[in-house]
């Protein structure tokens, strides 16, 4: 496991006008019942900020025109896959993810959210939650990253 690299990834903490954070309930069976913020791989040659906005748009239908960037991208957050998933996802190429996260204010309304904006939906439903509730909603192996994100971004919300 230690010989494998981390998958480059970008994520987005989207905050509404009531200072609540967007979370989507995962569709895939491995993570059923868990929630997460929009995130995904960085394509070759893509900048982390562009990847975070692309992932946000693919997973929520929310484009850059409906977001005001507040902070992010200065440091990365890493997590390792649990042993039972190692070699089973991402074609076995990665040990986990190294993520760049961004915080942004959503200027639209719930009517602007389209979980089917991309041909393969990631989320089956969404809700807005208190930032401090995020870690307990997340699949356990990603929880430490979410705790770090809350510590870094909560004061800015």
Residue 30, pLDDT score: 61
Residue 64 has pLDDT above 70, yes or no: yes
Name the pairing type of β-strands 6-15 and 96-106.
parallel
CB 101 within 8 A of CB 11: yes
pLDDT in tens, 113-153: 999 998 788 899 999 999 999 999 999 999 999 999 999 99
- The model's pLDDT over 16-38, given as tens digits with 9 standing for 90+, comes to 999 999 999 988 766 567 899 99
Tokens of 99: 């993520």
> What percent of the chain is predicted at pLDDT more than 90?
76
CA distances from 9 to 40, 96, 101 (A): 5, 10, 9
Q: Which domains does the chain have, with CATH numbers?
A: 6-156 (3.90.79.10)
How many whole angstroms separate alpha carbon 128 and alpha carbon 16?
A: 8
Closest residue by Cα to residue 22 from 133, 145, 147, 142: 133
12 within 8 A of 52, measured Cβ to Cβ: yes
């Amino acid at each position: 496991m230690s010989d494998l690299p981390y998958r480059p990834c970008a994520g987005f903490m989207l905050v509404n006008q009531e200072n609540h954070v967007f979370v989507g309930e995962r569709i895939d069976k491995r993570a059923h019942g868990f929630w997460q913020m929009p995130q995904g791989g960085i394509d070759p040659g893509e900048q982390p900020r562009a990847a975070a906005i692309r992932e946000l748009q693919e997973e929520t239908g929310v484009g850059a025109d409906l977001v005001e960037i507040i902070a992010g991208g200065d440091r990365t957050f890493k997590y390792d896959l649990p042993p039972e998933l190692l070699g089973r996802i991402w074609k076995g190429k990665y040990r986990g993810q190294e993520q760049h996260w961004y915080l942004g204010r959503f200027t639209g309304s719930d009517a602007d959210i389209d979980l089917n904006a991309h041909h393969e939906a990631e989320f089956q439903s969404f809700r807005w939650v208190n930032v401090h509730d995020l870690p307990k909603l997340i699949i356990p192996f990603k929880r430490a990253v979410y705790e770090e994100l809350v510590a870094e971004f909560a004061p800015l919300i």
